[in-house]
Amino acid sequence: MRGDLTKRIHNSQQRSEIRSFCSMTLEKINTHKDVYQAIAPETYSKEEFEGKVVIVTGSGSGIGKATALAFSQLGAKVAFTDLTIESAQSAADEARSFGNKTIAVSGNVTKLKDTERLVAETTQKLGPVDCVVFAAGYGMFDKFEISRSDDWWGLVETNLKGPTDLTRLVLPDMIKRNTGTLIYIASRVSLKV
């Protein structure tokens, strides 16, 4: 199967990256830089991010956590948020070693009250929001014809409604201050392997 994927990818750099990724063993993967090289902090200038306030949804684990840790390492004040306070707090505690302020907020991106509380706590404890990374989300791997309605609409609420609601909450202040960045993470699940 890996050979078929390599044949379909024409860009030699992409082929090289995929071969490299596929050959990694779990023992070799020890930091976010090994899996998510594009967000490795050494790629960016600390001056760009120092003191900025960043919210990363879904930052209790996975790419959300790796992204939040990278921002924190670059000097940003980061709001870690996840469904459970335990996972958000654990990630925020890990980021404290970088020496800048972090907070942990639990919440569900599909619940407007939770996102309102997230923005209010972040603004109150860290300052005006400069950047939001929308990393909370999930995919459905069933074929559409056998998928369940609840699963489908849960996916739409998490991956579309949640980011839309949070954008509505932070955008007015960003426009007023004439600054702000919104980063929406999308999956490449559509690539057949």
**For the chain, which domains are there?**
1-30 (no CATH), 32-184 (3.40.50.720)
Given this model, what pLDDT does residue 2 score? Answer: 35
Given this model, what pLDDT does residue 30 score? Answer: 42
pLDDT digits (tens, 9 = 90+) for 4-42: 333 333 445 544 444 444 333 333 334 455 556 666 777
Given this model, what pLDDT does residue 37 score? Answer: 64
Given this model, what pLDDT does residue 140 score? Answer: 74
Given this model, what pLDDT does residue 152 score? Answer: 79
- Is-contact 44 74, C-beta < 8 A? yes
DSSP 20-77: HHHH--TTT--SHHHH-GGG-GGGS-HHHHTT-EEEEETTTSHHHHHHHHHHHHTT-E
Angle between helices 85-95 and 62-73 (to 10 degrees): 30
Task: For residue 15, give every residue at least 6 positions away whose Cβ sits within 8 Å of its Cβ, in sequence order, or none.
Answer: 6, 9
Backbone angles phi, psi at 175, to 5 degrees: -65, -45
CA gap 176, 146 in Å, rounded: 46
Q: Which residues of the chain have pLDDT under 50?
A: 1-11, 14-31, 190-193
Given this model, what pLDDT does residue 177 score? Answer: 96
